[in-house]
Amino acid sequence: MDRVAKRNWQIRLAAVVIFVLGFAAGALALDVYHNSGRGERHGGMLDQLSLTDDQRTQVKAIFADARAQMSEVRKECGPKFREVRERTDARLREVLTPDQWERFQQLTSEERERHGHDRSEAERPR
């Protein structure tokens, strides 16, 4: 493989890794936002604001509504993200050797685990 082809391959692989990491980070951020409304995080914050009982009730209702809306957004976007991942994986499999593909899957899996995210078996490319 000449230098230019090797460099192009490295650039493409780096772009895909960045995309996967960006997706994982975005999904993790949504989960943090989703989980933060359960009282662990906002409870302390609400205490620091010295809210009245009425304000506290209203703020909790706002957070509950936001959680429901974020859940809907995740449901709507999930299939689109899966489609992009599947197309990307298919294109990568055409470029990478079987050993490289296996190593790539291992690296992305490790990265997702580090960020507390893992695709279910049903979502993993075959």
Domain assignment present for residue 31? The answer is yes
Total number of domains constituting the chain: 1
Domain assignment present for residue 56? The answer is yes
Domain assignment present for residue 110? The answer is yes
b/e sequence 14-26, b meaning 16+ C-beta within 10 Å: eebeeebeebbee
Q: Give the global pTM.
A: 0.41
Domain assignment present for residue 74? The answer is yes
Cβ–Cβ under 8 Å, residues 117 and 27: yes
Domain assignment present for residue 125? The answer is no
Q: pLDDT digit string (tens) for 87-109?
A: 999 999 998 899 999 999 999 88
Q: 69 is in which domain, residue-wise?
A: 3-116
Domain assignment present for residue 121? The answer is no
Alpha-carbon span 118 to 110, nearest angstrom: 9
Domain assignment present for residue 12? The answer is yes
Highest mean pLDDT among 71-75, 80-84, 102-106, 112-116: 102-106
Query: Does residue 126 sit in helix, strand or coil?
Result: coil
Domain assignment present for residue 124? The answer is no
